[in-house]
Structure 1
Amino acid sequence: MAVELGTEYFADGDEFRRWLCENHEAVPGLWLRMAKKTSSHSSIDYDQALDVALCFGWIDSLSRRIDDDFFVQKFSRRTARSPWSKRNVEIVARLDAAGLLEPSGIAEIEKAKADGRWDRAYEGAAKAEVPTDFLDALAENPQAREFYATLNSTNRFTIAYRLQEAKRPETRARRIEKFVNQLAEGKKFY
């Protein structure tokens, strides 16, 4: 059963930090209402919110448009299977050096280091590279290769990410075969 999350608005990072101090263990997450950069309204911005959330072991996920001035970004507690991005690894290193991490944030980092998620941190969409073994398989299937060329960056990143997160070579090989077959059938991932 999905938990209904509330929506909150904070003027700045300090307000969000105070809220998390009181709620980070009791509340599973929230939708954070933020002003768009082009809006005449002000609020905490995404980078500030992410910094504060990471300090408590929380993470961002979905984003939804509200109107021309606002959007909401989902923030929630990190789960035991939540992957880490290299970007967030770099951010928490900066936050740690500044002494801003809370015990709950440090605990999430230690869990990720212990179970290998830290070392498997993935590149973001802007830096992700498509694996050569996938490109080799794609080259052998003209229909898949042609359809792949039409995909947007989100779909290409999804493929690269899912291949990178495979822990075993057999899993990776199965995914490559599955993705090439889907592409040959003209199926997108998003």
Structure 2
Amino acid sequence: MSRRTRSTTAALSKLTEPVTKKGTPGPRAAKIAAAPQSPPIRLFDTAVAWETWLVANSQDLAGVWLQIAKKAASKPTVTYDQALDAALCYGWIDGQRKTHDAEHFLQRFTPRRKNSMWSKRNVDKVAVLIQEGRMRASGQAEIDAAKADGRWERAYAGASNIQVPADFQAALLKNSSAKSFFEALNKTQRYPFLWRIETTRRPETRRRRIDEYVTLLADHKPL
């Protein structure tokens, strides 16, 4: 083999992924192929335009970033509440929010994942949407699945009205340091503790989680 051939072969080996015995890509190539693409950013002037997009795309796409106008923006768009109502009708749900520019923020919407928990806010919302005749088959399917497996009854409260569970309160009463630190937290800081406890299904996991949180709080550490 000539020096040029050896050099070319070495260079190519750095750019290619080994293949398994059956001819399938190795783990590195598979990981790259499986990497999710970033959802597109879309702006809709009206709620009707957003719902029209959902009709065409909600069964095929993995998500979208909605560019939503802030209250003081010079040009209005579909609002967050309007977008969420329409999303629920088609089995989608809101997710992460992030900044975008001076007049807009980005709100992510995706199809609801299997076994994802429901919030009490959205349980109340879909009741109104059903009454108004807006619910679609894909949205109703998510509701039916949640009712069938118990997630509907376990819907969790939002940060503004979630209560401290009795078993967590009892554990805090046994540890004055943890209790004092927890009570000094604001609603936003308390919410991760309460949400994770309330959405835990298995009793033994719930008890273990409460013990872990009391220890964490006693050390004056938030989640």
Q: Shorter-chain TM-score: which interval?
A: over 0.9
Other-structure match for 1:136: 170
Aligned-pair identity in percent equals: 44
Cα distance, 1:138 vs structure 2: 1.4
The correspondence for 2:42, drawn from 8, 18, 24, is 8
Structure-2 residue corresponding to 1:41: 75
For each residue in 1:1-50, what CA deviation from the matched residue of structure 2 results, as whole angstroms up to 9, or x when unmatched?
33311111001110011001000011011110001113223100011000
How far off its partner does 1:64 sit?
0.6
Mark the runs of 5 or more structure 2 residues left unpaired by the alignment.
1-34
Backbone CA RMSD of aligned residues: 1.3
Q: Which has the higher contact order (CA 8 A, sep 6+)?
A: 1
User: Structure 1, residues 120-143: CA drift from partner, whole Å, max 9, x if none?
Assistant: 111111110011221221122222
Between the aligned partners of 1:47 and 1:183, the Cα distance in structure 2 is 35
Normalising by the residue count of structure 2, what TM-score does the alignment of the two structures yield?
Answer: 0.81
CA distance in 2 between counterparts of 1:148 and 1:55 reads 38
1:109 is matched with 143
Q: Scaled by the length of structure 1, what TM-score is found?
A: 0.94
Per-residue deviation, residues 53-102 of structure 1 (Å, max 9, x unmatched) = 00000000111111331101110000112111111111111111111111
For these two proteins, the number of residue pairs brought into alignment is 189
89-98 or 142-151, which moves further after superposition?
A: 142-151
Question: 1:118 and 2:152 equivalent?
Answer: yes
- For residues 38 and 158 of structure 1, the distance between their equivalents in structure 2, rounded to whole angstroms, comes to 31
SS of 1:149's equivalent in the other structure is helix
1:88 maps onto 2:125 in alignment? no
- Gap regions ≥5 residues in structure 1: none
